[in-house]
A and B are shown apart, each in its own frame.
Chain A
Amino acid sequence: MECVFGLVGDGFAILAADTSAVHSILVHKSNEDKIMVLDSHKLVAASGEPGDRVQFTEFIQKNVALYQFRNGIPLTTAAAANFTRGELASALRKNPYAVNILMAGYDKETGPSLYYIDYIATMHKVDKGAFGYGSYFSLSMMDRHYHSGMTVEEAIDLVDKCIIEIRSRLVVAPPNFVIKIVDKDGAREYAWRESVKDAHVASA
C-alpha cells in the first residue's frame, strides 16, 4: 500500500514516499520515484491511481512552469497548492483524479510550508501529514515525536522512526523509501532507504 508522509522543520520541509509500483499482487518495480520536483523550491508527493498520479502531477508541473514563463516570477507554495486544489475540484464532478497530494515548498517571505490535498480536493495547510495505510503509523509517530522548529537531523530521525514503524507493522509494507527535502537552497533528493535492491541484470 502506498505510504506518503511529510513534515515541516526549521526552515525546511521534508517529504518521504515509498517507491513500490504495484499492480494487484505483483510489484512491477521498487524504485519508482513518487516525489516530483515541481519547481526549484517545491516538491509534490503523490499517492493513488498510478496513471492519474503521473498525469496529474505532470500537468500541475507544466502549468506551474507556464506561469513562471508568462509572468517572470515563480508561484508561491500557497498559490501552487490552491491551483492544484482548483484543478482537482473542477474535475471532481466530471472526471475525478484519484490522487492524494502532499505539497511542500519554501518561500523566501513565509518560509517552509506543507499542504495536504485530498483526492476530493480538501486542502489544508499542515505541519505534518500522511496518506495511505502507512499514515496510521507515521501520523501517530509524528504526533508523539514532532515539535515545531526541528533541525534536519531531528526530522530525518523522525522520518526514519516512521519508516521503521511502517516496515515492522504494516502487513504489505513497502521495502524502499525515498526522502526529499526543500529549503532555501532548493528542492532536492535527500536519501533513499532501501531494504530490497533490484537484482542486477547482466547486460546483453
Chain B
Amino acid sequence: MSIFEYNGSALVAMVGKNCFAIASDRRLGVQLQTIATDFRRIYKMHDRLFIGLSGLATDAQTLYQRLVFRHKLYQLREERDMKPETFASLVSAILYEKRFGPYFCQPVIAGLGDEDKPFICTMDSIGAKELAKDFVVAGTASESLYGACEAMFKPDMEPEELFETVSQALLASVDRDCLSGWGGHVYVVTPTEVKERILKGRMD
C-alpha cells in the first residue's frame, strides 16, 4: 500500500464570491483500522489563511509545526500576517528542501489575499504548486473529489451556497473511498467571519 494511503484523507478547497471554503474528512486510520473519527486536518494560520494537510498524518503534524514556527517568526519580524501567495511559496520551499526524502503530504492552501480576493492552491509532496481559480482537491478521495467538484461548481457562489456545494461534493466523494469519511469539517471564510461547521455523513 502506498505511504500516502496509510492514514487516509480527503481535502477540498473552493472559491466563491469574495469568500472561500475549505473542507476535510475526519477519519484517522492505520490502513484498514480506524483509530479516531475526530481528526483535524485543516489548520488556521491566521484569520484569513487556512492550510489542510493530507497524506501521512505524522508528516502532516510535523509539517504543520514547522509552518507555525515559520509563520510566527514572520509575524514577529514583519509585524503583519503572511499573504496566502507568500505562504504557498513558503510551503513549496519547505517541501522541496526535502526533495530526496520528502514529507509524504499534499497540502491544500486557502486564503483571502489583497482586496479580499480568495486564493487557493495545492501542491504535491515535493512542492509543485498548482494554482486554480475554482477548486483544488487532495487526499485518497481526490479522484472522486475532482469529479464531484467539476459537476457541482459554479463561479461566484455566495457563502451559504458555497457551503452546500462543498459539503455535498465532499460527502459524495468520501462515500466512495473506504479510507476517508466519518463526517466532515467545513470552514467557510468571508472577509468578516469564519464559520466552522461539522458534517454528519455516512459514519463508516
Do A129 and B35 have beta carbons less than 8 Å apart? yes
Residue in contact with B58 in the complex, picked from A121, A129, A139, CB distance below 8 Å:
A121
B61 in the interface (beta carbon within 8 A) = yes
In the complex, the chain A residue whose C-beta lies closest to that of B62 is A89
B39 and A124 contacting across the interface, CB-CB below 8 Å: yes
The reply on B73 being an interface residue by CB < 8 A is no
Distance (whole angstroms) from the CB of B9 to the closest CB of chain A? 12
| Interchain CB contact under 8 A, A122 and B101 | no
Q: Mark A128-156, 1 if CB is under 8 A from B, else 0.
A: 01000001100100000000000000000
Q: Which of B1-44 contact A (CB under 8 A)?
A: 7, 28, 30, 33, 35-36, 39
* Cα separation A127 to B57 with both chains bound (whole Å): 19
The answer to whether the Cβ of A93 comes within 8 Å of any Cβ in the partner chain is yes
Are A124 and B58 touching (Cβ within 8 A)? no
- A85-B61, A89-B58, A89-B62 as given contacts; A124 in contact with B35, CB under 8 Å: yes
When chains A and B are docked, how far (Å) is the Cα of A118 from the Cα of B28? Answer: 12
> Contacting B61 at CB < 8 Å: which of A93, A122, A139?
A122
Q: Does A172 touch B at the CB level, under 8 Å?
A: no
Q: Mark B43-78, 1 if CB is under 8 A from A, else 0.
A: 000000000000011100110000000000000000
Q: What CA separation (Å) do A120 and B59 show in the bound complex?
A: 9
Q: Which of B7, B35, B36, B62 contacts A121 (CB 8 A)?
A: B62
A122 touches B33 (CB 8 A): no
Give the complex CA separation of A93 and B104 in angstroms. 12
